[in-house]
Amino acid sequence: MSDKVVFSPFERRASLALSAVYGLRMLGLFLVLPVLALGVADMPGGQNPAAIGLAMGIYGLTQAFFQIPFGVASDRFGRKPVIVFGLLVFAAGSFLAAWADSLPLLILGRALQGAGAVSAAVSAFLADLTREEVRARAMAMVGISIGLSFVVSLVVAPPLYGAYGLEGLFLLTGALAVLAALGVVRMGAHPPVPKPVSPELETPLAAQAQIEKERAWSLLRHSQLWRLNLGIFSLMAVQTAMFVAIPMGFAELGMPLQDHWKAYLPLLLVAFLGILPPIFWAERKGRFRPVFLGAVGLLGLTMLGFLLVDGQGLAPWLVFVALFFMGFNLLEALLPSWVSRVAPVGQRGLALGIYNTSQSMGLFAGGLIGGLMLAAQGRAGIFAACALLLAFWGMMALGLKELGRRSPTRSSPSNGE
């Protein structure tokens, strides 16, 4: 058998479809972020900085609260119905925000958007439909769809806001979520979600709830999973904090906000091409741990690089932004695949729910870190705080065990059986 395992036609279609679903939903979310703070200025309550901050951040809080319930529900009721329901909840929140005539009502809409927390179910669905040999590449496709969604939002959000206002952006956000839900409904037949064969399934509801609680605690205490959950928390916190600093750096180097996409798009493409060789090498050699630790180290060194080149010119700034994207995209591709391999069969939804809860909390924490450090120490404070967080994560990640080569004998779920 060749060392290089390729996608089967089914796996390719499933990966592309779910990446598109994820990307559409994230595009809907990202579209309002560049203009939300400005767009609420004329609303009642729109001059209150604390309320504006709540409108920006409450999405992450409600998403964190609902990730685990959606993950558990996808284990019990199936991936597709849970994903469709969550996307429709997100759409309902978008439409409520579009029709909001006050900031409190808009905050309620944003909270409802976050309640449609389908990330865990989508990740578990993708894990169900792909073999371990190609799963990192499938997850990388999702990561790239998220990155491209963010870049597209930076390009199109300002002119769309100028033409249609905040209401139009939220209506488009809701429409994208409905489109993503239709995409999930139209997906063809797929293998059933693996279920543990256990007499516990026949136990009374109270006893089953206790069993689920014990399983959740066991996953939280799992030595490998908690390190991976710490990893996604740290990665998202660093990403959010850095997106406070990076746009400011571009602006001070003479690049207007409306031109930032001209830097983001090519740098993201360079980063994507840069992560393919280490992913293929890790899969071929079964050496995921050194690639993972190397990416964490790269991000840490990038923070130190930002400290040195901040304000020193556009060219060195672009180099370190590209390195940041490379390290970030590589880790974003490896982390969910690692979780899906380590998690017990039948508990992928729960494990990925915990993982995505950590991800959402990281987004919220990163916003706090970015704002507090910027106020106290400027951009240098953000870089230093991120470097310390990455150093701590790196030390904890040393306890991760090598995944090894993926078994070629594992039966493929891609045959529809």
Tell me the average pLDDT across 269-292: 83
Say if 195 falls within a structural domain.
no
Say if 218 falls within a structural domain.
yes
Tokens of 355: 């993982």
Give residue-wise pLDDT tens across range 214-233: 566 667 667 788 888 899 99
Clarify whether residues 102 and 229 are in a common domain: no
Of 160, 189, 218, at which residue does a domain stop? 189
Say if 410 falls within a structural domain.
no
Q: What is the pLDDT of residue 218?
A: 65
Clarify whether residues 210 and 183 are in a common domain: no
Q: What is the pLDDT of residue 49?
A: 52
- Exposed, middle or buried, 305 (CB in 10 Å: 0-12/13-18/19+)? middle
> Which among 57, 90, 54, 88 is positioned nearest to 170, based on CA atoms?
90
Clarify whether residues 148 and 218 are in a common domain: no
At a CB cut-off of 8 Å and minimum separation 6, what does 111 contact?
A: 58, 59, 61, 62, 93
Residue 334 CA to its chain's centroid (Å)? 12
Say if 198 falls within a structural domain.
no
Clarify whether residues 108 and 24 are in a common domain: yes
Maximum Cα interatomic distance, the chain, rounded to a whole number of Å: 66
Tell me the average pLDDT across 398-407: 73
Clarify whether residues 177 and 213 are in a common domain: no
Say if 194 falls within a structural domain.
no
Tokens of 88: 């429709």
Clarify whether residues 358 and 330 are in a common domain: yes
Percent of the chain whose predicted confidence (pLDDT) is above 70: 80
Does residue 384 register a pLDDT over 90?
yes
Does residue 111 register a pLDDT over 60?
yes
Q: What is the pLDDT of residue 89?
A: 94
Give residue-wise pLDDT tens across range 13-57: 888 888 888 777 777 777 777 666 556 767 877 666 566 666 777
Highest mean pLDDT among 26-40, 117-131, 333-347: 117-131
> Which among 209, 196, 138, 123 is positioned nearest to 347, based on CA atoms?
196
How many domains does the chain divide into?
2
Clarify whether residues 285 and 139 are in a common domain: no
Rg of the Cα atoms in the chain? 21
Clarify whether residues 178 and 212 are in a common domain: no
Clarify whether residues 210 and 67 are in a common domain: no
Does residue 389 register a pLDDT over 90?
yes
DSSP secondary structure code for residue 345 in this structure: T
Clarify whether residues 313 and 227 are in a common domain: yes
Clarify whether residues 113 and 259 are in a common domain: no
Tell me the average pLDDT across 266-289: 83
The CATH number of residue 320's host domain is: 1.20.1250.20
CA-CA distance, 220 to 226, in Å (whole number)? 6
Helix (H, G, I), strand (E, B) or coil at 209: helix
**Comparing 410 with 5, which gets the higher pLDDT?**
5
**Comparing 51 with 119, which gets the higher pLDDT?**
119
Q: What is the pLDDT of residue 208?
A: 47
Say if 300 falls within a structural domain.
yes
What residues make up the domain containing 323?
206-404
pLDDT category of residue 122 using cuts at 50, 70 and 90: confident
pLDDT category of residue 306 using cuts at 50, 70 and 90: very high
Tell me the average pLDDT across 380-397: 92
Q: For the whole model, what pTM was predicted?
A: 0.70
Clarify whether residues 236 and 288 are in a common domain: yes
Does residue 207 register a pLDDT over 80?
no
What is the SS3 assignment for 276-287?
HHHHHHHHHHCC
Say if 143 falls within a structural domain.
yes
Q: What is the pLDDT of residue 85?
A: 94
Tell me the average pLDDT across 392-402: 89
Mean pLDDT, rounded, of the chain: 78
Does residue 2 register a pLDDT over 50?
no
Say if 217 falls within a structural domain.
yes
Percent of the chain whose predicted confidence (pLDDT) is above 90: 16
Give residue-wise pLDDT tens across range 132-171: 777 767 777 777 777 677 778 767 776 787 778 888 889 9
